[in-house]
Amino acid sequence: MSKHVLALEQFDRQQLQSFVDRAIELKSERKQGVRHEQLAGRTICLLFDKPSTRTRVSFEAAMYGLGGNVIFMSSKDSQLGRGEPLKDTARVLARYVDGIVVRTFGQEIVEELARYSDVPVINALTDLYHPCQILSDVMTVIEKKGALENLKIVWIGDGNNMANSWIEAAAIFGFSLTLACPQGFDPDEKVLARSKERATQSITLLRDPVEAIKDADVVNVDVWASMGQEDEQEERLELFQPYQLNRELLAKAKDDAVVLHCLPAHRGEEITEDVLEGPQSVAFDQAENKMHIHKALLDQFID
Ligand code: CP
Ligand code: NVA
């Protein structure tokens, strides 16, 4: 198995399924009050270039929950912010800690860190991918729907990092995925092509959200402007309006469809307050599951 977690496409179905299964087990053990100490004496460094509430705290809680320690460093407070090369940073950090969890802009940044790091590097979001989040989301779908097979899973909105990782998940887990993205906001072309080649079920890219959501079992939405795209926020507001998940649009999905949002949500933009707070929303279970998935990954990847 790959030593690092940079993208879902590095793994096969059995490996991804084992992370989810382990997370489900750890979640149940936590409810039973089981204590874990397998990472006692180990330390990870969280190296973050972008803001985070859920990912940071859930990784930290996961590491402490397995008996380990965490050092958080924002890039701007490190010498990276003053131009120290990534390859030097990776080699130095790897001499202090047992794993590096990175949230940054370019996917090439996590890849370069991984190339020079003797310890595992875990991608906690880049502009291209959000792999750990999608594992939490897949876990949530399995909890709510029992299995991934025969579900219609839909993505509505920007073809962003979340959409790209969902596409890879569809290809590897073998479920069908329908996306509706506005023209000019498609998922990454290469990710889509590679995933379609690997997929056993359909991965369909549409423009019309109404057509996409019809009879959906699972509906995913995310912010219209991701971190780093703040200057496009105004322009996107108008363009993405038809892609808002409101009661009217959701009514076209199956009655028992679940709504996923990785959070943070912009109420009144990509999702309305009543849908996010409504009975079909599982956003807060998703948020909880991030911690269980992160535990499963740390348990698997940190020696
Ligand atoms: N969903 C997610 O990654 O949230 P944060 O940006 O708060 O970490
Ligand atoms: N697509 C969003 C996800 C936030 C968790 C972003 O990159 O900002």
pTM of the model: 0.97
Burial class from Cβ neighbours inside 10 Å (0-12, 13-18, 19+) for residue 238 reads exposed
- Mean pLDDT across 57-71: 98
Whether residue 242 has a cis bond before it, omega within 30° of 0 = no
Compute the distance from residue 233 Cα to the ligand 2 centre, in Å: 13
Residue 244 Cβ < 6 Å to ligand 2: no
pLDDT value, residue 82 = 92
Compute the distance from residue 39 Cα to the ligand 2 centre, in Å: 29
Residue 206 bridge partners (DSSP): 180
Best probe residue, ligand 1, of 125, 289, 293 (max atoms within 8 Å of C-beta): 125
pLDDT value, residue 302 = 98
Return the residue matching tokens 């105004």: 234
Q: How confident is the model at residue 76 (pLDDT cuts 50, 70, 90)?
A: confident
- Mean pLDDT across 203-220: 98
Q: Does residue 187 surpass a pLDDT of 90? A: yes
Mean pLDDT of the chain: 97
* Cβ count within 10 A of residue 141: 25
Burial class from Cβ neighbours inside 10 Å (0-12, 13-18, 19+) for residue 61 reads middle
Residue list, ligand 1 pocket, CB within 6 Å: 52-55, 125, 133, 262-264
Residue nearest to atom 1 of ligand 2 (CA): 226
Atom of ligand 2 nearest to the CA of 161: 1
Report percent pLDDT > 90 for the chain.
Answer: 99
Nearest-ligand number for the alpha carbon of 136 = 1
- Mean pLDDT across 205-231: 98
Compute the distance from residue 273 Cα to the ligand 1 centre, in Å: 19
Domain covering 133-286, topology: Rossmann fold (3.40.50)
141 within 8 A of 153, measured Cβ to Cβ? yes
Q: What are the residue ranges spanned by the domains of the chain?
A: 8-130+289-301, 133-286
What is the Cα–Cα distance from 27 to 34, expressed in whole angstroms? Answer: 10
pLDDT value, residue 13 = 97
Burial class from Cβ neighbours inside 10 Å (0-12, 13-18, 19+) for residue 78 reads middle
8-130+289-301 shares its CATH topology with 133-286 = yes
Nearest-ligand number for the alpha carbon of 286 = 1
Residue 245 bridge partners (DSSP): 271
pLDDT value, residue 75 = 85
- Mean pLDDT across 214-238: 97
217 within 8 A of 257, measured Cβ to Cβ? yes
Residue nearest to atom 6 of ligand 1 (CA): 52
- Mean pLDDT across 85-105: 98
Q: Does residue 34 surpass a pLDDT of 90? A: yes
pLDDT value, residue 254 = 98
Q: Does residue 104 surpass a pLDDT of 90? A: yes
207 within 8 A of 185, measured Cβ to Cβ? no
List pLDDT tens digits, range 244-302. Answer: 999 999 999 999 999 999 999 999 999 999 999 999 999 999 999 999 999 999 999 99
Best probe residue, ligand 1, of 60, 135, 262, 286 (max atoms within 8 Å of C-beta): 262
Kindly state which CATH superfamily the domain 8-130+289-301 is placed in.
Aspartate/ornithine carbamoyltransferase (3.40.50.1370)
Q: What is the DSSP string of the chain?
A: --SSBS-GGGS-HHHHHHHHHHHHHHHHHHHTT----TTTT-EEEEEESS--SHHHHHHHHHHHHTT-EEEEEEGGGSGGGGT--HHHHHHHHHHH-SEEEEE-S-HHHHHHHHHH-SS-EEES--SS--HHHHHHHHHHHHHHHS-STT--EEEES---HHHHHHHHHIIIII--EEEE--TT-PPPHHHHHHHHHH-SS-EEEES-HHHHHTT-SEEEE--SS-TT-GGGHHHHHHHTGGG-B-HHHHTTS-TT-EEEE-S---BTTTB-HHHHTSTTB-HHHHHHHHHHHHHHHHHHH--
What is the Cα–Cα distance from 131 to 56, expressed in whole angstroms? Answer: 15
Alpha carbon dihedral 296, 150, 262, 238, in 10-degree steps, equals: 160
pLDDT value, residue 283 = 98
Compute the distance from residue 235 Cα to the ligand 1 centre, in Å: 23
Residue nearest to atom 7 of ligand 2 (CA): 226
Compute the distance from residue 62 Cα to the ligand 1 centre, in Å: 15
